[in-house]
Amino acid sequence: MEGTPYILAMLNDRRLLTRRALLGTAVASAIASVPMATAASAQSRPAANSPAANPTPTPVRLTLPAPTGPHPLGTIAVHLIDRARVDPWQDSRPSRELMIQLWYPARATHEHPPVPWMSPGAVPFFEREQGIPSGTLLLPTTHAHLAAPVDHGRCGRPVVLYSPGLHSDRSLGTALIEELASRGYLVVAIDHTYDADQVEFPGGRVETFAITGDIDDALIAKALTVRTADTRFVLDQLTALNAGHNTDAGRRPLPPTLAGAFDLSRVGMLGHSLGGATAAAAIRADRRLQAGANLDGSLLPPVTAGTDRPFLLFGSDPGPGPEDPSWDQFWTSQYGWKRELALIDSTHTSFTDLETLLPQAAPALGMTPSQVTQAIGTLDPHQAIHAQRDYVRAFFDLHLRHLDNHLLQHPSPRYPQIRLLR
């Protein structure tokens, strides 16, 4: 495959893209298929010094779908250091460092600027990893405002933790995260340092993917152990934040109204790909998590043994192809509430922001329609995001708020793109 971008080769490898691919690298594969299209189209362009050469094109501004809930949004990133752990991926680091991002309903947003989709220092690393020519795309701005005062609600907000896929980062789940926050949840997105593509820390330091060796079951098992420990540490830090302590490693200012905003008696977890497996592993390890949801992530023992708490399996459904037996094993063993859904005509990447960003970026990057559908499937992106938002929210509403809109009880004619499997 000489001349073929590495990640495009993975996109074409069905062994890595089973229906519920474990690896978050499938997320990166969507935009990373760009270099092939760009290189091919460049052959037909005039040389740069030719009079017929086109001027530098105007960068394309990407946008995220607006959240539909009644609450304006605030957000803040927090730098955490777990001094009880040497970093398991970089033993030269004496402590495990994480970045988390809090997303929440805000009381007011004036004088608080909107926050970019990805921290500015991480953008060049993202572009390089994905093969995006610098300046071709202007990445989105979110709908959340920096350090806006928190709206506590009556007695604190139910909490949902979010874990991204391997070789991914917290930015890729923003459309779903913003929707939950706009509906009254306090969402905590976790970047798992060194298994993420890039994580920017205060001061501009960026740590990139640093896992070496084959991505096999043994390595994935280690990653799940590390991520489970990350999750439990984050839960501890939320308790401290809720009590009014500033747990940011640099003691950077946090919203003064953050204390008391977390209702830690109502905590769930959501993840995509390896993040979905992380949700399943963490809920088994920590009873503070009351409900979990897996977006298209394969599972490994002992996670396949299930749990006594509610769990949602929400997978892609691209059509004929190999099934993932780990979900059948989990279903048989799961003795708490359970449901399995499929998003029709979707792919593994459909459960990330690339579902909406990739079609916008494709013309500027020279991608063909077939390359786009190869990455995100044939389902209309608006319908895909709408269904994901509504079904994930219905799950957490049911199990963290005891509000039942009956969406998870039987197929709905309003959502023909959803297949209720069992």
Burial grade of 50 (CB within 10 A; 0-12, 13-18, 19 or more): exposed
Q: What tokens appear for 170 in the block? A: 């917290």
Residue 54 lies in a domain: no
Q: Is 213 left (phi over 0), alpha (psi -120 to 50) or beta?
A: left
Residue 61 lies in a domain: no
Q: How far apart are the C-alpha atoms of 321 and 319, rounded to whole Å?
A: 6
Give residue 191's pLDDT. 98
Which pLDDT band holds residue 54 (cuts at 50, 70, 90)?
low
Helix axes 369-376, 25-32, angle to 10 degrees: 170
Q: What tokens appear for 327 in the block? A: 């979900």
Report pLDDT digits (tens) over 269-323.
999 999 999 999 999 999 999 999 999 999 999 899 999 999 999 999 876 666 7
DSSP β-ladder status, 114-116 and 198-200: unpaired
**Which H or E element spans position 317?**
strand 311-317
Are the C-beta atoms of residues 261 and 156 closer than 8 Å to each other?
Answer: yes
Burial grade of 58 (CB within 10 A; 0-12, 13-18, 19 or more): exposed
Residue 55 lies in a domain: no
Residue 52 lies in a domain: no
Are the C-beta atoms of residues 69 and 166 closer than 8 Å to each other?
Answer: no
- Residues of the chain with pLDDT > 70, as a percent, come to 86
Tell me the pTM: 0.90
Give residue 33's pLDDT. 46
Coil, helix or strand at residue 98: strand
Helix axes 25-32, 123-130, angle to 10 degrees: 80
Which pLDDT band holds residue 142 (cuts at 50, 70, 90)?
very high
Report pLDDT digits (tens) over 358-412.
999 999 999 999 999 999 999 999 999 999 999 999 999 999 999 999 999 999 9
Are the C-beta atoms of residues 356 and 30 closer than 8 Å to each other?
Answer: no
Which pLDDT band holds residue 56 (cuts at 50, 70, 90)?
low
Report pLDDT digits (tens) over 58-114.
899 999 999 999 999 999 999 999 999 999 999 999 999 999 999 999 999 999 999
DSSP β-ladder status, 206-208 and 198-200: antiparallel
Length of the chain: 422
Flag whether pLDDT at 215 surpasses 60: yes
Residue 365 lies in a domain: yes
Q: How far apart are the C-alpha atoms of 223 and 230, rounded to whole Å?
A: 10
Q: How far apart are the C-alpha atoms of 111 and 279, rounded to whole Å?
A: 36
Q: For residue 157, give the CATH number of its domain.
A: 3.40.50.1820
Residue 59 lies in a domain: no
How many domains, the chain?
1
Burial grade of 42 (CB within 10 A; 0-12, 13-18, 19 or more): exposed
Coil, helix or strand at residue 231: helix
Are the C-beta atoms of residues 146 and 113 closer than 8 Å to each other?
Answer: yes
What's the domain range around 266?
Answer: 6-44+67-420
Average predicted confidence (pLDDT) for the chain: 88
Residue 1 lies in a domain: no
Residue 60 lies in a domain: no
Tell which residue, 196, 178, 88, has the closest CA to residue 141: 178
Q: What tokens appear for 69 in the block? A: 């809930």
Give residue 322's pLDDT. 60
